[in-house]
Amino acid sequence: MNDSRTLSTLAVLAPLLTLVAACADINDTGLAALATRVQAYAVVNEQLVQGEMTLYTDRTGTVTLRVEVAKPAADNNPFDFMRAAPKPAERPVERPILNSCLGRFRYTATTYGVIDLRCNEGSTVELRMALIGETRGYGYGQTATGLVSLSFGMAPTEARAHLTTPHGKQLVEADGASGLEMR
């Protein structure tokens, strides 16, 4: 009699657990389907990183940024070995190389939010964000070694106005691309 009671309990619980798991999957799928993806630019520890910010309907989001590698111009022949290789950019020796940053965004008020940004070389920062539209905004913060600025949902020209560049450097629109580069 005890075994039949256990079996009937399992017969009721198994479909309920399946239903709960299915609801969680539907929620995640719905958030992803309704998400808005916008271009993002940031200057982290005097280095430009670019990528994408995904804004979800539940007033959260994610940020994925990486260093853009210079691509050869369209007229360069990849089999032309006679040209001298370009000089690599000089970097301070004391800092690890920054390749990418990931972050989580959440609203703290109607037009304000916070991004917890973490980079591969160990930098972490909490950026205070101001939203100037539903999918546009900018923010500032500071790591242990330097300033951080970020803009999202803007054209490169507009984004430059909200990014803090190191002394002696400037941000310019990349040739033939919809991005920025630091010179």
pLDDT digits (tens, 9 = 90+) for 78-95: 555 445 545 555 554 566
Tokens in use for 51?
A: 């990528």
Any domain includes 25? no
43 and 167 Cβ atoms separated by less than 8 Å = no
Q: Which of 71, 32, 67, 72 is nearest to 46 (CA)?
A: 67
E strand segments, 120-160: 124-133, 136-142, 147-152
Give the count of domains, the chain: 1
- The C-alpha atoms of residue 6 and residue 47 are separated, in whole angstroms, by 62
Contact residues for 132 (Cβ-Cβ < 8 A; gap 6+): 111, 138
Any domain includes 58? yes
Hey, what amino acid is at 50? Answer: Q
Q: How far is CA 119 from CA 13, 98, 99, 133, in A?
A: 43, 7, 8, 26
What counts of helices (H) and strands (E) characterise the chain?
2, 10
Any domain includes 114? yes
pLDDT digits (tens, 9 = 90+) for 35-85: 899 999 999 988 899 999 999 989 899 999 998 765 544 555 555 544 554
The model's pTM is 0.70
Any domain includes 13? no
Any domain includes 104? yes
Any domain includes 120? yes
DSSP 143: -
- The C-alpha atoms of residue 163 and residue 97 are separated, in whole angstroms, by 20
Any domain includes 163? yes
pLDDT digits (tens, 9 = 90+) for 92-139: 456 668 889 999 999 999 899 999 999 998 889 999 999 998 889 999
Any domain includes 113? yes
